[in-house]
Amino acid sequence: MLLTMVAWMTGVVAQADDKRAQRLVRQAQKAHGMHRLRDVQITFTFRDTPYRLWLGDGAYRYERDVTQDDGALRVDRLEGWTLTSILDGQPLSLPAETTEGRRRSLNSVAYFALLPRPLTDDAVVATYGGRQQLRESPYDVLDVRFREDGGGDDHDDHFRYWLDPKSHRIAYLAYTFSRGEGGVRIREATATHEVGGLVLLDYVNHGRNVTQDLRAAVAEFEAGTLPEVSRIELDDVSVSRGVSAP
């Protein structure tokens, strides 16, 4: 996820912007309760599928229970970027393409659920975009790109976050992606789940599956012409602390 740096500025100004971006990331993580996650298990249901996210000290394990077409229950487990699918207690041997698709899908759900925690990943390059208006309200804007080294296959994706200047929580986020034919998404936070000291968000997701830069997409979003493509709604959210790795 990212790197084509938003035009790096030089000298004192660039250093000041960097520090401001880092401070905003820390404030957002604290506002969402994502600044200290050690031996924490988060569970929720998303689109009728149960998810379990365990976060330790520098480690993680994500799982979901998938009911297959034949009614059998399959567990997908992502740990250390290795995806294992388990059926009747036995790991399945899967084609590389299937494994990759399940890994991306599981990681994507966890990534967005845990925002803004991932914004301190080593591959992230965050810059401060200033105070901007979106739908007639002011927000602090973070522009996020990714280094190729450690940024994964999608390192050229481009993210933008609009943070409430008072609560420091995420109000909107947008991103471009190049996988497939490419596309753009803008998510509007619509509900919060405040559980166990954490704040997880639901979103309405707008966008198009065509290559489009964020400026054009935001203009469409503000004009009300960017179509809704999905809703991201978490159910039965729970948080347990002091939970060791399963």
Residue 149, pLDDT score: 61
How many whole angstroms separate alpha carbon 160 and alpha carbon 105? Answer: 21
Amino acid found at 2: L
Question: pLDDT tens-digit profile of 144-188?
Answer: 998 876 445 555 678 999 999 999 999 999 999 887 778 999 999
**Mean pLDDT along residues 58-87:** 93
Residue type, 19: K
Q: How many alpha carbons fall within 13 Å on the CB side of residue 15?
A: 2
pTM equals 0.88
Write out pLDDT tens, residues 92-113: 999 999 999 999 999 999 999 9
Rounded CA separation 141/173 (Å): 9
* pLDDT score of 12 more than 80: no
pLDDT in the model for residue 63? 97
Q: Is the peptide bond before 116 cis (omega within 30 degrees of 0)?
A: yes
CATH of region 11-241:
2.50.20
User: Where do the domains of the chain lie?
Assistant: 11-241
Which pLDDT value is given to residue 211?
81
- Nearby residues of 200 by Cβ (< 8 Å), 6 or more positions away: 32, 42, 44, 113, 192, 193, 234, 237
Q: What is the DSSP string of 177-213?
A: E-STT-EEEEEEEEEEEEETTEEEEEEEEEEESS---
Query: CA angle at residue 175 from 12 to 161, to 5 degrees?
Result: 50
* β 40-46/49-55 pair status: antiparallel
In this structure, what token pair is assigned to residue 243?
């939970």
pLDDT tens digits, 202-241: 999 999 998 888 999 999 999 999 999 999 999 999 999 9
